A and B are shown apart, each in its own frame.
Chain A
């Protein structure tokens, strides 16, 4: 599989200059976009189509700090990168206590309806989970420079990679719980597939 970092001529590091990346993306697009190869033969056209698709995928994976970490994990583990995980994320142990509370609040709401205290409690639970959700993302981004240092110094990167994975798994799980709460509150307008919410 083609390494998206090498598409942009970058080392496998998390510190990426966003503006430089965008400039390079535009340059590569001007080179490979099918618009500029309309007169070429069928074989060449198929080739630029593939290159153009690769550049677009690579840019999408690397442009955000968080998606960059997600991509890095997949790359280090030698997995194919997929936009969405098919399986529902499993509940991480550390969230057990929170989940029990949420469960309680949901039961309460079921018995009493959403109007009164139970509804308010559900909303409060959701607000707390959303904070936690944002915090998980922030914690990953904050530690990105540690990764780059390990790359430079040649240290053992596996523990940090594992830690990144844990954080992202927790975050993904939080998302599904927040969505479920919104459903219970009858507030979710459309059923967008949950993994696409960053």
Chain B
């Protein structure tokens, strides 16, 4: 039987997993890495994904797309505030935003499809056979359009998406499979770009989600942004340099900030050193510094937690276990706030980066019929309604309703001979339709001409197990199915997706080998570039013997790079890295020394 894989398509990193011998496992890449950075770069050598694309972030900022999950299923109005922060060019289209890469416009699902394709290939290498079906996770608080966009991405990548599963629920499944959890479980999931809280009742193999809440625009990315702003201000103050318009510098700062943030989850203090043209930024950062910066962001997760508890009709002290998921929960401040809210110490016994992918693999195994004693009952995170007179929303399906679920609504005509009726479907919790998310406008057509008010059209709104809406309509007097034309407000039409699926065959490198070669070559280019830059800066601190060794390694790699022997390129890249490592260390030391000595005496006194 062919394999169904579980995929965690994350804001920052993505993973693929499957169940083997009853145990869910992450499938690593050739280098043994589990995490694939969700970054896609368009380079002179073609499209690269993951680690190779990450190296393009600073050098090729306009053509390197990261955190695209935040743009999935979104309109321009939703994201315009953060576009100025993104180094790539997002076209201000009202509906589906797209990213301009050279002369091509690429939609978020197409970018995600590149990440999915890389994971698909990773799995195919592992199994030695094609992989065509997958379960993909999404934030529980994703709306219909965001879910549909994720499904579209799967299709473009050549995957049949058998199920869209909510990330916190997937985590609960992974814990549940190992019989680690029973009772009322709260899953607090703070990832790179999104936040979810889900409250579940786990009992005898049944995973019943009682309530979920969240924010699809709140995560580690926002922590990084707060830090970047703080560092920019600090650089302005200390070096009188404004780097806010320098895309390359911004990426260096962002990467530095992210790394410092991660270190500060384990250490009380850390040092951030970033060399720029003309000066080196050097700064000692305490954990308390960044905690003060991100405190309001962490506090913003607590409201949704309270709402979820209220919707589940539970008090915090009735929760038996609080599970932490997502890389951002490594932050001690997050752990403290969660502990204060629930009055119990949260835990992450399973790796918070991997647990969602493992859960997706469990769900895949359930669908394959390999696990029969686990039952997952999830909910729809947002209320679904239709617009009525005066722009008021009439709710058809309340949030936190167990899915699949359906509601029926009856429509009629208002004038004689009217043959179409239109309706506007919305998702959200507000009373006025303009404050909710518009999902789609439907045109009911082909109604037989009758006096106004005579036709009775029954419309069925069905939310399937993926949390995605399906609509059917029929005229009750004639029993005739009415045709519905759906105009998704934020999303690709069926035709557009088809076109992209076709394109992907045309544009995509046909086989795995070609893609891997490109990635290896790109990696070699990066190292060659770094070495060249280092040698320019450090001619006077390199010994003749060392220089000769470096030149030999460089030439060897350059020659190999022109060929197609992937293993050879990789070996020589590693060799060049090794031979230049002592030089890199010395350069770093000088940079720090320069930074320290260039500090004005009064500031030194102030800091000591």
Residue ranges of A at the interface with B (Cβ–Cβ < 8 Å): 26, 29-30, 33-36, 38-39, 49-50, 52-54, 56-57, 59-60, 80, 82-84, 86, 189-196
The 4 closest A-B pairs by CB, nearest first: A56-B402, A84-B395, A53-B406, A53-B404
17 more contacts with CB within 8 A, not counting A38-B369, A86-B392, are A26-B206, A34-B464, A35-B363, A36-B372, A52-B404, A53-B406, A59-B402, A80-B408, A83-B395, A83-B398, A84-B394, A86-B394, A192-B429, A192-B430, A193-B383, A193-B393, A193-B395
Query: With an 8 A cutoff between CB atoms, is B299 at the interface?
Result: no
- Nearest A-chain residue to B306, judged by Cβ: A189
Query: With an 8 A cutoff between CB atoms, is B312 at the interface?
Result: no
How many whole Å from A20's CB to the nearest CB in chain B? Answer: 14
Query: With an 8 A cutoff between CB atoms, is B396 at the interface?
Result: yes
How many whole Å from A92's CB to the nearest CB in chain B? Answer: 22
How many whole Å from A101's CB to the nearest CB in chain B? Answer: 26
CA–CA, A53 to B401, complex, Å? 10
Chain B residues closer than 8 Å to A191, beta-carbon distance? 429-431, 435
Chain B residues closer than 8 Å to A83, beta-carbon distance? 395-398, 401, 407
Query: Considering residues A30, A39, A195, which has the most beta carbons from chain B within 10 angstroms of its beta carbon?
Result: A30
Query: With an 8 A cutoff between CB atoms, is B483 at the interface?
Result: no
A57 with B405, Cβ < 8 A, contacts A83-B398, A195-B395 known: yes
Q: Is the CB of A34 within 8 A of B377?
A: no
Chain A residues closer than 8 Å to B402, beta-carbon distance? 56, 59-60
Query: Considering residues B163, B206, B388, which has the most beta carbons from chain A within 10 angstroms of its beta carbon?
Result: B206
Q: Is the CB of B375 within 8 A of A53?
A: no
Q: Is the CB of B404 within 8 A of A38?
A: no
CA–CA, A33 to B462, complex, Å? 14
Size of the chain B interface, CB-CB below 8 angstroms: 40
Q: Is the CB of B404 within 8 A of A35?
A: no
Chain A residues closer than 8 Å to B105, beta-carbon distance? none
- Nearest A-chain residue to B388, judged by Cβ: A86
Q: Is the CB of A26 within 8 A of B404?
A: no
CA–CA, A26 to B402, complex, Å? 12
Query: With an 8 A cutoff between CB atoms, is B367 at the interface?
Result: yes
Q: Is the CB of B162 within 8 A of A38?
A: yes
Chain A residues closer than 8 Å to B410, beta-carbon distance? 80
Q: Is the CB of B367 within 8 A of A38?
A: yes
Chain A residues closer than 8 Å to B395, beta-carbon distance? 83-84, 193, 195-196
CA–CA, A53 to B408, complex, Å? 12
Q: Is the CB of B375 within 8 A of A190?
A: no
Query: With an 8 A cutoff between CB atoms, is B58 at the interface?
Result: no
A60 with B401, Cβ < 8 A, contacts A80-B408, A191-B431 known: yes
Of the candidates A49, A60, A193, the one whose C-beta lies within 8 Å of that of B462 is A49
Query: Considering residues A57, A59, A193, A194, which has the most beta carbons from chain B within 10 angstroms of its beta carbon?
Result: A193
Query: With an 8 A cutoff between CB atoms, is B226 at the interface?
Result: no
Chain B residues closer than 8 Å to A195, beta-carbon distance? 395
Of the candidates A30, A56, A193, the one whose C-beta lies within 8 Å of that of B431 is A193
CA–CA, A34 to B466, complex, Å? 10
Of the candidates B206, B377, B398, the one whose C-beta lies within 8 Å of that of A84 is B398
Of the candidates A56, A84, A189, the one whose C-beta lies within 8 Å of that of B403 is A56
A190 with B376, Cβ < 8 A, contacts A56-B404, A83-B395 known: no
How many whole Å from A41's CB to the nearest CB in chain B? Answer: 15
Q: Is the CB of A190 within 8 A of B429?
A: yes
Chain A residues closer than 8 Å to B162, beta-carbon distance? 38
CA–CA, A195 to B107, complex, Å? 39
Q: Is the CB of B404 within 8 A of A49?
A: yes
Chain B residues closer than 8 Å to A84, beta-carbon distance? 394-395, 398
How many whole Å from B282's CB to the nearest CB in chain A? Answer: 43
CA–CA, A189 to B113, complex, Å? 38
CA–CA, A191 to B376, complex, Å? 31
- Nearest B-chain residue to A23, judged by Cβ: B204
CA–CA, A129 to B158, complex, Å? 58
Q: Is the CB of A35 within 8 A of B429?
A: no
Write 18 A-B pairs (CB below 8 A) sorted by A numbering. Answer: A26-B204, A29-B206, A33-B376, A33-B377, A35-B376, A35-B465, A38-B368, A38-B369, A52-B404, A53-B403, A53-B405, A56-B401, A83-B397, A83-B401, A86-B388, A192-B429, A193-B395, A196-B398
Query: With an 8 A cutoff between CB atoms, is B303 at the interface?
Result: yes
Chain A residues closer than 8 Å to B392, beta-carbon distance? 86
How many whole Å from A187's CB to the nearest CB in chain B? Answer: 14
How many whole Å from B33's CB to the nearest CB in chain A? Answer: 31
Chain B residues closer than 8 Å to A49, beta-carbon distance? 404, 462, 464-465
CA–CA, A192 to B372, complex, Å? 38
Query: With an 8 A cutoff between CB atoms, is B350 at the interface?
Result: no
How many whole Å from B233's CB to the nearest CB in chain A? Answer: 31
Of the candidates A26, A82, A190, the one whose C-beta lies within 8 Å of that of B407 is A82
CA–CA, A189 to B213, complex, Å? 15
CA–CA, A48 to B42, complex, Å? 44
CA–CA, A38 to B396, complex, Å? 27
CA–CA, A50 to B435, complex, Å? 31
- Nearest B-chain residue to A51, judged by Cβ: B404
Q: Is the CB of A193 within 8 A of B405?
A: no
- Nearest B-chain residue to A57, judged by Cβ: B405
Chain B residues closer than 8 Å to A57, beta-carbon distance? 405-406
